[in-house]
Amino acid sequence: NLVPMADILQDAHQKTYAVGGFNINNMEFLQGIMMGAEELDSPVILQASEGAIRYIGIDYVMQMVEAATKNIDIPVALHLDHGSDFDSIMKCIRAGFSSVMIDASKLSFEENIALTKKVVEAAHSVGVSVEAELGTIGGTEDDHTVEEKDAMYTDPDQAKEFVDATGVDALAIAIGTAHGVYEGEPELDFERLDKIKKLIDMPVVLHGASGISAEDLKTGVKYGVNKVNVNTDFQQSFTAKVKEVFAEKPELYDPRKYCGPGREAIAEKVKEKIKILGSDGQA
């Protein structure tokens, strides 16, 4: 029942909206995300990091996602988040993922192209979509100098050369977001995003979207972001709810009594994000 991520993102690219790339950490995350997406009739990209796959187990990931997508009528992709090497990506493709990310952004531009191209050839031959990354996402300080920004952020002309050389389905770019919790107020380089989008004219991915304001997310979507990755915001919603439950009833011991409300909190947060991204009603 999984669809290639490229199908979901092409529609978003044509119609100027974005789809959540929402990380699953455990069963409650998966169920909470599906509850929110189904309720709002939204396509969704379920993504598992290598860390999450180690934690859950790849067979459990596959079987849980199969159960979660059995009787649904929204498009769902299962995507490997930040795949680090060819072997790790092949394991996910063999297991049945419908999309993978190769994150070779730490390598040189040429090496990034070479490895990404190799992944695209293997993945596309079996109908699996590929996301790649160009630039440096992360670094939570918001006071980068212009030279630092130019070194870290995605260069528009390189982006064009990269997508032409590799044939990727989506490109993750660096415009000032960072993974995890922000220390200062993040400042996004929308001018750079606008330039990149106009040059590459294909689906663009924004990582580290937790902690980015609704207004900035909407501006990002307006300038062509089609996939928005969120993990930390859901982790915080889940954990805050669990703490709240324990503050009220410290004697609790049944995990269903606190994981259930945590799952509910994720579903609420998912709905909030979907409405901001404009993917509600797009299924």
Which residues sit in the known binding site?
82, 103, 133, 179-180, 207-210, 229-232
Stretch that binds ligand 13P, among 118-126, 148-156, 202-210, 252-260 (CB under 6 A): 202-210
> Which residues in the 38-97 window bind ligand 13P by CB under 6 A?
81-82
- When the beta carbons of 89 and 259 are compared against Zn ion, the nearer one is 89
Residues in the chain: 283
Q: Specify the 3-state DSSP secondary structure of 60.
A: helix
Query: What x-and-dash track marks residues 202-231 binding Na ion by CB under 5 A?
Result: ------x-xx--------------------
137: closest CA among 76, 90, 88, 180?
180
The CB-of-243 to ligand 13P minimum distance in angstroms stands at 19
Q: How far apart are CA 38 and CA 27, in angstroms?
A: 16
**Would you count residue 79 as binding Zn ion (CB under 5 A)?**
no
- When the beta carbons of 219 and 232 are compared against ligand 13P, the nearer one is 232
Tokens 């509910």: give the residue: 264
Q: How far apart are CA 29 and CA 215, in angstroms?
A: 25
Is 7 annotated as catalytic? no
Query: What x-and-dash track marks residues 5-24 binding ligand 13P by CB under 6 A?
Result: ------------------x-
Beta strands in the chain (DSSP E): 19-23, 44-49, 76-83, 99-102, 129-134, 170-173, 204-206, 225-230
Residue among 3, 6, 37, 52 that touches ligand G3H (CB under 6 A): 52
**Would you count residue 28 as binding ligand G3H (CB under 6 A)?**
no
For residue 129, which amino acid is it? S
Are 23 and 230 within 8 A, CB to CB? yes
Q: How far apart are CA 15 and CA 79, in angstroms?
A: 22
**Would you count residue 207 as binding Zn ion (CB under 5 A)?**
yes
Site for ligand G3H, rule CB under 6 A: 23, 49, 51-52, 81-82, 179, 231
